[in-house]
Amino acid sequence: MPQPHPPLVTASRRLTTALAKQRFAAPVAHVYRPLVYARALHEAYLTRFGQGPKRVLLLGMNPGPWGMAQTGVPFGEVAAVRDWMGLTGSVKQPDHPHPKRPVTGLACERSEVSGRRLWGLMRERFGSPEAFHADHFVVNFCPLVFMDTGARNLTPDKLPAAERSGIEAACDEHLRRVVKILAPQHVVGIGKWAEKRATHALTGVEQPLKISTVLHPSPASPAANRGWAAAAVKQLTDSGVWS
- Give me the residue spans of the domains in the chain: 7-238
Q: Which pairs count as long-range contacts for 218-224, CB under 8 Å and 24+ apart, including other chains?
A: 218/113, 218/114, 218/191, 219/113, 219/114, 224/117
Select 7-238's CATH number: 3.40.50.1220, 3.30.70.1400, 2.70.70.10, 3.40.470.10. 3.40.470.10
Phi, psi at 235, each rounded to 5° = -65, -45
Reference 147, options 138, 156, 139; nearest CA is: 156
Beta bridge partners of 189: 59, 213
Helices then strands, counting H and E runs in the chain, come out as 11, 7
In order along its 243 residues, the chain shows pLDDT tens digits of: 566 789 999 999 999 999 998 999 999 999 999 999 999 999 999 999 999 899 999 999 999 999 999 999 999 999 999 999 999 999 999 999 999 999 999 999 999 999 999 999 999 999 999 999 999 999 999 999 999 999 999 999 999 999 999 999 999 999 999 999 999 999 999 999 999 999 999 998 888 899 999 999 999 999 999 999 999 999 999 999 999
Contact call for residues 9 and 60 (beta carbons, < 8 A): no
**Angle subtended by helix axes 39-49 and 7-20, to nearest 10:** 150
